[in-house]
Amino acid sequence: MIEFENFFEVSFDEEISVATLAIKRRDNRYNSFSPDLIIALKGLLESYDENERVKGVILTSAEKVFSTGADIEGQFHKLDTFGAQRFSHLGQRIFQLLERSQFITMAAVNGFALGGGLEIALACDFRIASTNARFGLPEINLGIMPGWGGTQRLPKLIGPMKALEIILTGEPISAQEAKALGLVLDVVEPDKLMPRAKEYMAKVTRKSRLSLSAVKRAVHGGLSLDIDRGLDLESELFGLLWGSEDRREGLEAFLKKRKPHFRR
């Protein structure tokens, strides 16, 4: 069994129901992604999905580098074609756990977020950055291309033309440019990064976990549907929430002019 302590510093804020996963590879100062690291991440995310206490997860770094992506100096460069495809699929599936989770996710990026480091941030619901953050997909410089969702998520966020420029040049962009493009919500000084991340998360994690999950399903699911099917999905989820205890509590609290106390 892979021990996540070799790759992450984990904490939980009871007040806002948010877990923080700080990437910290003990054997690699660039926090690059090995197969063991992403499998450890899979275990953590699956456990949080089953834990009703967890309404949000912040992914950050315990070092000055967020992540430089796949571990090129490790096993990665030894892969054959089939192995490379399997490694791509593995990362894609695990990053989709962030996108499809029942909790809200945020990447709080400090330092370089390159390759898979940017791709995992793209799979989060929100992103904020410190002033020293840099974002890029440099795979083109190695004669390859992004393989963990970068070619799919980045164009949807910032448009195909700018996404192609970032991917084809392989050049990183600053935190300020990332904000101007809509890639990140906010840019703050490094010492303000985690307080700001928790401040953002607290705005949503005091809501019903059922509602948070339904909104994520509607928004992410709707991106791949036409408007009619997207509206059908919205109605289906709206109906499911209407039958929940949290809906009854929310309406009762509104009518009695008090704060709701959601079960989940």
The answer to whether residue 262 is domain-embedded is no
Residue 145: pLDDT over 90: yes
Record the pTM: 0.92
pLDDT in tens, 196-246: 999 999 999 999 999 999 999 999 999 889 999 999 999 999 999 998 888
Residue 251 sits in a domain of what CATH number? 1.10.12.10
pLDDT category at 1 given cuts 50, 70, 90 is: low
Number of domains present in the structure of the chain: 2
How far apart CA 227 and CA 211 sit, in angstroms, is: 21
In sequence order, the 6+-apart residues with CB closer than 8 A to the CB of 120 are 33, 59, 67, 95, 98, 107, 148
pLDDT at 78: 76
The reply to whether 119 belongs to the active site is yes
Active site residue 99: no
pLDDT confidence tier of residue 6, bands split at 50, 70 and 90: confident
Set 3, 5, 9, 139: catalytic member? 139
CATH assignment of the domain containing 146:
3.90.226.10
**Last residue within a domain, chosen from 165, 185, 205:** 205
Residues 85/43/26/59 CA torsion (nearest 10 deg): 90
Q: Among 119, 177, 199, 245, which one carries the catalytic annotation? A: 119
Categorize the per-residue pLDDT at 31 as very low, low, confident or very high, splitting at 50, 70 and 90. Answer: confident
Rounded to a whole number of angstroms, the CA Rg of the chain reads 19
Q: Do the domain assignments include residue 264?
A: no
Q: Are residues 161 and 222 in the same domain?
A: no
Q: How far apart are CA 44 and CA 243, in angstroms?
A: 30
Domain hosting 201: range is: 4-205
